[in-house]
A and B are shown apart, each in its own frame.
Chain A
Amino acid sequence: MRQPRKRHLIEAQIPALRRFAYALARDGALADDLVQDCLERALSRWHLLRTGPELRAWLFRVLRNLHIDALRARGRRGAVTLDEAPEPAHPGGAESALELAEVLRALWTLPLDQREAILLIGVEDFSYEDAARILDVPVGTLMSRLARGRAALRAATGRETGGRPNLRRVK
Chain B
Amino acid sequence: MTRDAAMTEDELQRYIDGRLDPARAEAVRRALADNPALAAEIEGQIADRDALRNALARRAAEPVPERLRLPPPATGGMARMAAAAAIFAVGIGLGWGLGRDWGAEHPLPSGIRVAQDETALAQEARVAHAVYAVEVVHPVEVRAEEREHLMAWLSKRLGRKLAAPDLSAHGFELVGGRLLPAGAGPAAQLMYEDASGLRATIYITAMPGDESAFRYSRSAEGVSSLAWLDEGYGCAISAPLDRAQLWPLAEATYEALAL
**A residues adjacent to B (C-beta < 8 A):** 1, 3-5, 7-8, 10-16, 18-19, 22-23, 28, 32, 35-36, 39, 43, 56, 100-104, 106-107, 118-119, 121-125, 143-144, 146-147, 150-151, 153-154, 157, 159, 161-164, 168-171
CB distance from A86 to the nearest CB of B (A): 20
A12-B198, A16-B196, A170-B163 known; A7-B54 Cβ under 8 A = no
- Interface contact A122-B68, CB-CB below 8 Å: no
Q: Measured between alpha carbons, how far is A10 from B10 in the docked complex, in Å?
A: 31
A151 in complex: contacting residue of B45, B54, B65, CB < 8 Å = B45
- Interface contact B88-A4, CB-CB below 8 Å: yes
- Interface contact B70-A39, CB-CB below 8 Å: yes
CB distance from A151 to the nearest CB of B (A): 7
Interface bits B63-89 vs A (CB < 8 Å: 1, else 0): 011011111000000000110110010
Provide the residues of chain A in CB contact with B68, threshold 8 Å: 14, 18, 32, 35-36, 39
Provide the residues of chain B in CB contact with A153, threshold 8 Å: 45, 48, 52
A36 in complex: contacting residue of B9, B51, B67, CB < 8 Å = B67
Q: Measured between alpha carbons, how far is A111 from B256 in the docked complex, in Å?
A: 38
Q: Which residue of A lies closest to B198 (CB)?
A: A12
**B residues adjacent to A (C-beta < 8 A):** 9-10, 12-13, 16-17, 40-41, 43-45, 47-57, 59-62, 64-65, 67-71, 81-82, 84-85, 88, 147, 151, 163-164, 166, 171, 194-198, 256
A161 in complex: contacting residue of B44, B57, B171, B197, CB < 8 Å = B44
A122-B17, A144-B9 known; A19-B48 Cβ under 8 A = no
- Interface contact A104-B52, CB-CB below 8 Å: yes
CB distance from B92 to the nearest CB of A (A): 11
- Interface contact B70-A4, CB-CB below 8 Å: no
CB distance from A2 to the nearest CB of B (A): 10
- Interface contact B56-A125, CB-CB below 8 Å: no
- Interface contact A154-B13, CB-CB below 8 Å: no
List 27 A-B pairs, Cβ < 8 Å.
A3-B81, A4-B82, A5-B88, A7-B70, A12-B198, A14-B64, A15-B197, A16-B195, A18-B64, A19-B60, A22-B56, A32-B68, A56-B196, A118-B49, A122-B16, A122-B49, A143-B10, A147-B13, A150-B13, A153-B45, A154-B41, A154-B44, A154-B45, A161-B40, A163-B50, A170-B147, A170-B166
